[in-house]
Amino acid sequence: MAESHEDTHTPFPHFGTLATHAGQDPDQWNTRAVVPPISLSSTFKQASPGKPFPYEYSRGGNPNRDVFEKCMASLENARFAIATSSGVAAPTLIAQTLESGDHIVCVDVYVGTLRYFKSILSRFGIQATFLDTIDLPSVEKAIQENTKMVWMEASTNPLLRMVDIGAVAKLAKGRKPDITVVIDNSFMTPYFLRPLDHGLDIVYYSVTKYLNGHTDVTMGVLCTNNDDLAKKLRFQQFAGGAVPSPFDCYLANRGLKTLHLRMREHQKNAFAVARFLQASPHVTEVMYPGLPSHPQHELAKRQCRGFSGMVSFRIKGTLENTKKFLESLKVFILAESFGGYGSLVDHPALMTHKYASAEERERIGVSDTLVRLSVGLEDMEDLLTDLEQALKSSQET
């Protein structure tokens, strides 16, 4: 039997300790509270006109946001973290550093990012080249004289394809040293992958997903080690207002405390689910980077400290078989999003990717029989039993 990377991956040193303590020092509060108190005030008293204390106005800074950002930067091995009002607000903020006439190379990006670039950013004279492939020659060919950014995902949504992020960064900066290399790491989280360590400039997340982990926050965050980028992004956020609420920051900061524990269990259950699906006669294809059958399995082992809790697969049959499967599930909940403690199931063609045309969905591999699972923290046996009965139901005439 092939070696199981789920049991042999080495976590980043001190991850759990950093998640617990970074930015959380009780001595920063007059009350010495062990849990950071929630600060809901929108404005703060000044010592004299134009001489504020650490905080002036909550759009520019808030104690709960600072605590979350310090902890997040520590987990990412980054110098700067900037929390945003939603996951989409983070890439929007990044894109706003561009100017009319600039060009972006997008390497197999999520359809929501593609929609923003095509429908909104293009109206401001910013061009984009969209690549469905993840090979380096295609990336090199797409870089133009006016290319300012290369944009990618650590593990693509929903097909879970992997790209050699360090190689892409090296190639891009070899062609143009001033190119900014950006990545969405929401699927992998900093527990399994720290993209800045691979030479990238900006990594961003939908905090809504794994980082918060409780399906009760809408929020984003981006991290960088670049002083100039951090200053520009911070100013644009203050001017544009895409800031999260203090309460959301409080909840997300709490979520980080168990990120390492949750990701271990997400991955453990995902491995079991992927192997079960691979053995099922009702499934034609399973996509999980932890499986030796995955096309980029060896790359994933070299690049990451694990494989996360996302599994995609194709059901045998037609759209009707797929619908019957989705409607038969009892533990997995049919809903968009991912990364919460509870298992979710998504039908990309009719849900997360419904705004893409049928031709576009076919081109990127989002078929009517494709299913994406966010494998949660339930008992493994219950998850497998649920999948088994729903798959059997899907094939009944």
Which residues are marked as active site? 59, 110, 184, 209
Distances (CA, A) of 205 to 85, 218, 219: 12, 11, 9
Check: CB of residue 361 under 8 Å from CB of residue 367.
Answer: yes
- Are 202 and 149 a contacting pair, CB within 8 Å? no
Contact, 325 vs 371, CB < 8 A?
A: yes
Contact 88, 79 (CB under 8 A): no
Q: Which of 181, 190, 179, 185 is nearest to 204 (CA)?
A: 185
Kindly report each contact of residues 135-140 with a partner whose C-beta sits within 8 Å and lies 24 or more positions away, as own/partner: 136/164, 136/167, 136/168, 136/171, 139/105, 139/107, 139/168, 139/171, 139/172, 140/171, 140/175
Give yes or no for a contact between 292 and 55, defined as CB atoms under 8 angstroms apart: no
Half-sphere exposure for 300 (CA within 13 Å, toward CB): 25
Handedness of CA 62, 67, 71, 73 (dihedral sign): positive
* 3-class DSSP assignment, residue 107: strand
Q: Which token pair is 6? A: 């789920």
d(C-alpha 113, C-alpha 156), whole Å: 12
- Total residues belonging to the chain: 397
